[in-house]
A and B are shown apart, each in its own frame.
Chain A
Amino acid sequence: STIVLVFEAPFEFRFCMKPGQKIKYGQKIGEI
């Protein structure tokens, strides 16, 4: 299964992960 997030955020928003990376729920994936 897959979860897609689509959201609006300021230009300063940065993802802090890499494609293919394993992540756990609650782990930071982006910050502004």
Chain B
Amino acid sequence: FNEAWKKTKVTWYPIPIGIGITFIAFQHMFRVYAREKRKKQDTSTEIRPIIIGPWQVYLIDTLPLRALSRLWGRINNEYNLPVWLREPCFKFYSWIFKCNLEEIENTDLKSYPNLGSFFYRSLKPGVRPIENAALVSPADGRVLSFGLVNNGKVEQVKGITYSLDAFLGHKRKEGKDDVIEQEKHVVTSTHIADEKEFANVNGIAYSLDALLGVDPAGATKQDSSVGEDASVRFEENGFQKELAVVTKFATPFSSAHKVREGNTLYFCVIYLAPGDYHRFHSPTNWVVEMRRHFAGELFSVSPYMLKMLPDLLVLNERVALLGRWRYGFFSMIPVGATNVGSIRIDFDKALRTNRREDLPVGTYTEVSYKKASKLLGGQPLRTGDEMGGFCLG
């Protein structure tokens, strides 16, 4: 080796580096060109939010949650169990999820054709006395968090704060640290969110406007009650977009909704476990003036998941029921999850959730209940009235 090392003559050749660099440049150029072409061809406005969080979140985000939820729903709602299998199956489900079978109205388990109908069971009259209070619980469940909405910020689980304004889909300026200043950005009612818009950074400040939806700009007012879809077509950045069912515009919540003197905003988050009774009722005497259906992801909303992905409630499918009660503004927002992606509102037969054709995350459609009651300008509800429920899939 020593000999060879010493004796071998070293000859220097100019290797063609330039050709190598040119080849790589061309390769990169073709790749960019192909990507831009694919983007142009892809007319769908499917924009995926950027999910940022622990590794478990990335893992879950790669799953087709909505498709899995629809499959779960198809299995449980469309395939009836053989009669002999029903009782053991529902008893097993009740044992796992601690359902209380004494309280259900129809105790003949063989009469439930499938798990979907068992899941949507009703309770015996009188097993849930309605207490005489300003506010009662709308459903069986566990209190995750509650408190004051301090200038638009909501305390989420474990101290991570939302500011409710972005909760409605406002565009955000690049955030500094955990509280992102909300730009006054009016969201069209079928707003295709920018990729950044729903960037889900742990601890990001969310706001009420992301939860309830704000007043779209520039769209014409359409008068239509529940079920009559009106739509306005318009062109934006080469995309045909449709402003769906824009009926009545609530004013931008955070700016125009002035809380009355001596009042303030409160919030409360209630988690329904898989074994809980899944119909929900009116928590007080109020009038529902409109609903906003946000198509979205269907992450699990368990406390574990909420801790890992604190901005979850903004990403998930939800129906924001907005109205008023004797002290001012009142809203109730049922939020779907992977196993219960369907939200049913008894007085809104037109509502369909967890549909394949729904617009992607960051869009919502709005329907006014003005015609439900001319006098009150909305759907009147008394404390304890059944409003609807969550269904499997």
Chain A residues within 8 Å of B, Cβ to Cβ: 1-11, 13, 15-32
Contact across chains for B280 and A15 when beta carbons are under 8 A apart: no
Q: How far is the CA of A19 from the CA of B145 in the complex (A)?
A: 5
User: Shortest CB–CB separation between residue A23 and chain B, in angstroms?
Assistant: 4
Contact across chains for A9 and B139 when beta carbons are under 8 A apart: no
Q: How far is the CA of A15 from the CA of B133 in the complex (A)?
A: 11
With A8-B328, A11-B262, A11-B263 as given contacts, are A3 and B334 in contact (CB-CB < 8 Å)? yes
Interface centre among A2, A15, A17 (most CB of B within 10 A): A2
Interface segment, B2-10, B270-278, B364-372?
Answer: B270-278
- Does B384 touch A at the CB level, under 8 Å? yes
With A4-B211, A25-B139 as given contacts, are A19 and B146 in contact (CB-CB < 8 Å)? yes
Contact across chains for A19 and B144 when beta carbons are under 8 A apart: yes
- Does B92 touch A at the CB level, under 8 Å? no
Contact across chains for B268 and A24 when beta carbons are under 8 A apart: no
Closest 5 CB pairs of A and B: A8-B328, A28-B133, A30-B135, A28-B131, A26-B130
Q: How far is the CA of A23 from the CA of B135 in the complex (A)?
A: 13
Chain B residue contacts of A3, Cβ below 8 A: 138-139, 141, 269-270, 272, 280, 332-335
Q: How far is the CA of A31 from the CA of B137 in the complex (A)?
A: 12
Inter-chain residue pair count (beta carbon < 8 A)? 172
Contacts A2-B313, A7-B266, A22-B142 supplied; 13 other A-B pairs, CB < 8 Å: A1-B390, A2-B144, A3-B272, A3-B333, A4-B211, A4-B270, A6-B267, A6-B329, A7-B267, A7-B330, A17-B143, A23-B137, A30-B268
Contact across chains for A31 and B260 when beta carbons are under 8 A apart: no
Q: How far is the CA of A9 from the CA of B328 in the complex (A)?
A: 7
Chain A residue contacts of B278, Cβ below 8 A: 1
* Residue of A with least CB distance to B339: A1
Contact across chains for A8 and B137 when beta carbons are under 8 A apart: no
Q: How far is the CA of A5 from the CA of B357 in the complex (A)?
A: 28
Encode contact with A along B274-287: 1 for CB under 8 Å, 0 otherwise. 00011011010000
